[in-house]
Chains A and B, each alone.
Chain A
Amino acid sequence: MRERTISADEVRRTARLARLALEETEIERMALELGRVIAYVDRLRELELQPTEALPEVKDDLTGIVPDGPAEGRLRDDEPEECLERERVLAAAPASSAGQFVVPRVIDA
């Protein structure tokens, strides 16, 4: 297995992208653990792959592995259907008011 280290700064950058607050002790451990996993998955670099074709995930159906899936994707007709009850949905949220989810202020008054 090749040496591969992930720096604490790379962990911090990735945690910011992932919207995860990590403690300093977590950052050190994460650098070590991620480094080991990345070193292992690096073995894929040795595979001979054809880079010319489009990535399989950009096919029209979600994964490209449903064999007879419709090529045009699945869109239902634009007809109103039964939907979730608003009160029940809001009741599951940590904070709601007047039929809406409440979050900290995002625009300065």
Chain B
Amino acid sequence: MNAAPPTAARIATAVTRSECSAEQVVNEALARLDASAGLNAVLHRNDARALERARGLDERRARGEPLGALAGVPVAIKDNICTRELPTTCASKLLAGYRPPYDATAVAKLERAGAVVIAKTNCDEFGMGSSNENSAFGPVLHPLDPERTPGGSSGGSAALVAHGAVPAALGSDTGGSVRQPAAFCGIVGLKPTYGRVSRWGLVAFGSSLDQIGTLTRSVEDAALMLAVIAGFDARDATSAEEPVEDYRGQLAQGTHGVRIGSLSDFVEADGVEPEVSLAVESAVHALREAGTAVQDVSLPLARETIPIYYLIATAEASSNLARFDGVRFGARAGGVASLQELYERTRGGGFGAEVKRRIMLGTYALSAGYYDAYFARAQRARALLQSELDVLFEKVDLLLCPTAPQSAFLLGERIDDPLAMYLSDVFTVLANLGGQPAISVPAPARPGALPVGVQLIARRFDEALLLRTAAVLERAGFRNESAS
């Protein structure tokens, strides 16, 4: 599309003030969706119901009824988040055509606030991957370079937002699946605190790590989206009874006197591209200019996060994915003689290579003879990592590091080397293991260079400071050029 599409904040204001109709906004978004078809970012479209909903919003506005904070805002939803009106496949052959009997709480909250779901987005199967190549429905292409990955696992959501089809999308983040694709695509990716957003209706991957997050082009839109989807939900026993703040209203406050710890020795790790180090350096400069105190801090266990994460995440996945057994959902293997064979053949034929690999690793780490050496050891190391983080957060208010060690890599570059793929999550898994909120903001665009992101991590439930600081960076040029 030609002109930069408007942000969610601008759309909601325009629709609320009757400067345009919700129907007009949704029609334009559907046209932008057509224009982005080559990215393979969309698994299911919702055209007819989206237009019907938009007309309903326009009628309510005509009657003088309030429409909500996201009035008329078109949104896309990662396909591992349940929607009653659209299939939810988790990009898995095993769930092809599955229609959940209910909406995820986050989706219901978006709709109650006036947002209009226009599409479900492609992703790595069950959220397992860092390149979107593990989708049963083909990879998503990077909006700036079709030979590259948009990142993963929320690659479809990131690509659609970066391409301008929607101003905002939901993703899920178990080890960086919102933040890493946001960094690759040059947009803003927010992973809220563990427990901040209800996961009712998010298909579980790693239950002690999973969190629903947002992909947007501006920090303001991230703040707006979070305020809508956050909050306690009796249907998710892990959701927190913490007050939800007006995050957007605090964005202009600045960060004078805020203390930031730069995880500098962590960043000096092998394989960090110069472009990424440069982005972190310029973030340090911008934050100092804004009156924050930046100091180098170190986290001794930082280099152990990948083994800890992959043992815990796969162990939890092996348990969570046991439910896909050919009995209650999706596809079932034919011609089987016994229940055992039904389970084994349905799962063996229905899951893709990476999902099987992770189920196998998790099962192995939990199995008799290996439990103490792997799973229990990883849990203890995680507890130690959490106490190291607690100590750091007594000294500083925020942590700063890259989002990913590199910019978007080529499709096919790492797909045959699972370990190399896992190592690309080195900076993001930290906030999932600790439960902290974290955000990726795009570094200032450099001619000829692909986008890279810098990451801020805050104390648990301090999204207000996280977003305020991200807004400071945004005002200093850490922004998506098309966000207006």
Q: Interface residues, chain A, CB within 8 Å of chain B?
A: 6, 10-11, 13-15, 17-23, 26, 30, 33-34, 36-38, 40-41, 43-45, 47, 49-51, 53, 55-57, 61-69, 73-74, 76, 84-85, 88-89, 91-95, 101, 103-104, 106
Cβ contact within 8 Å between A33 and B379: no
B interface residues, tally (CB under 8 Å): 73
Give which listed residue, A18, A26, A89, contacts B318 with CB less than 8 A: A18
Asked if B238 is at the interface of the complex by the 8 Å CB criterion, the answer is yes
Cβ contact within 8 Å between A37 and B208: no
> What string of 1s and 0s marks CB contacts (under 8 Å) between B302-328 and chain A?
001011101100000010001001111
> What string of 1s and 0s marks CB contacts (under 8 Å) between B327-348 and chain A?
1111110001111111111011
17 contacts between A and B (CB under 8 A): A13-B367, A15-B360, A18-B360, A19-B322, A19-B347, A20-B348, A20-B360, A21-B344, A30-B357, A33-B357, A44-B378, A56-B379, A56-B383, A62-B237, A63-B238, A67-B461, A74-B237
Can you add 7 more A-B contacts, CB < 8 Å, to A14-B364, A94-B327?
Answer: A14-B360, A18-B318, A37-B361, A47-B301, A47-B381, A92-B99, A94-B332
**Least distance between A55 CB and chain B CB atoms (Å):** 5
Cβ contact within 8 Å between B379 and A20: no
List of A residues within 8 angstroms of B46 by Cβ: none
Asked if B377 is at the interface of the complex by the 8 Å CB criterion, the answer is yes
Cβ contact within 8 Å between B434 and A65: yes
Cβ contact within 8 Å between A21 and B349: yes
Cβ contact within 8 Å between B360 and A47: no
List of A residues within 8 angstroms of B340 by Cβ: 19
List of A residues within 8 angstroms of B386 by Cβ: 65
Asked if B351 is at the interface of the complex by the 8 Å CB criterion, the answer is yes
Bound complex: CA A66 to CA B251 (Å): 26
Asked if B126 is at the interface of the complex by the 8 Å CB criterion, the answer is no
Cβ contact within 8 Å between A93 and B329: yes
Cβ contact within 8 Å between A88 and B344: no
Bound complex: CA A33 to CA B240 (Å): 38
A47 (CB) vs chain B CBs: closest residue:
B381
Tell me whether chain A's interface is mostly helix, strand or loop, or mixed.
loop
Cβ contact within 8 Å between A49 and B381: yes
The 4 closest A-B pairs by CB, nearest first: A21-B348, A94-B332, A88-B101, A41-B307
Bound complex: CA A17 to CA B216 (Å): 41
B344 (CB) vs chain A CBs: closest residue:
A21
| Given A18-B360, A40-B307, A66-B435 contact (CB < 8 Å) | yes
**Least distance between A87 CB and chain B CB atoms (Å):** 9
Cβ contact within 8 Å between B374 and A41: yes
Cβ contact within 8 Å between A101 and B380: no
**Least distance between B333 CB and chain A CB atoms (Å):** 8
Bound complex: CA A35 to CA B122 (Å): 30
